[in-house]
Structure 1
Amino acid sequence: MNGLSELIDSLEVKFFKLNQKVAQLEKKNQELQDELLLSRKNQQQQSGEIEALKNQLDTLKMVNSLLGSEENKRETKLKINSLIREIDYCIAQLSD
């Protein structure tokens, strides 16, 4: 009978340690999920900033070409033509 109680005590100790390990892993999992959420928010913010900077760069390129820069003249002409087509389309829609 003594061996059985030692076995039960051993199982209780192992169960307690296992329970502590599960609690540690759950805590670590929650920390990692929080960190992942924060990283995703940062990524979204940085993506927004990148998009804004790209738009600003496009605007600056257009302004440079309008001011006489030879580098972006073709792009500006294409953009102006695109805007003219959009305006023509809108006028045609209003005429109907």
Structure 2
Amino acid sequence: MNKLTELIDSLEVKFFKLNQKLIQLEKKNSELEALLLKTTQENNVKQSEIAELKKQLENLKMVNSLLGSDENKRETKLKINSLIREIDNCIAQLSD
């Protein structure tokens, strides 16, 4: 009977330790999920900022070429031609 009591006590101690470890791991998991969510949101914000900055850079390149910069004249001409084609297509669709 004494051995059975010791075995039960030992199991209770092990169960308590396992339960404490489970609580710690659940807490750590919650913290990591919160961190992942925050990091994902920050990443999305940064991606939006990058896209906006790229758009601004393209606009600045176009303005520079229109102001006389030789570096981006070809790109600007291509963009203007593309815009003219789009306008022509819109006019054609409206006249149908």
Q: Distance in 1 between matches of 2:75 and 2:43?
A: 30
Instruction: Deviation per CA, 1:32-77: give whole Å up to 9, x if none.
Output: 0000000000000000000000000000000000000000000000
* Paired position in structure 1 for 2:55: 55
* Paired position in structure 1 for 2:89: 89
Q: Distance in 1 between matches of 2:94 and 2:23?
A: 67
The letter for the 1-side match of 2:28 is: K
What percentage of residue pairs aligned between the two structures are identical?
A: 73
The letter for the 2-side match of 1:67 is: L
Q: Distance in 2 between matches of 1:85 and 1:52?
A: 25
RMSD over aligned Cα, in angstroms?
Answer: 0.3
* Paired position in structure 1 for 2:32: 32
Deviation, structure 1 residue 20: 0.4
Unaligned runs of 5+ in 1: none
TM-score normalised per structure 1: 0.99
Q: Distance in 1 between matches of 2:30 and 2:61?
A: 46
Unaligned runs of 5+ in 2: none
* Paired position in structure 2 for 1:15: 15
TM-score normalised per structure 2: 0.99
Note if 1:72 corresponds to 2:72.
yes
Query: Runs (4+) of structure 1 moved beyond 2 Å?
Result: none
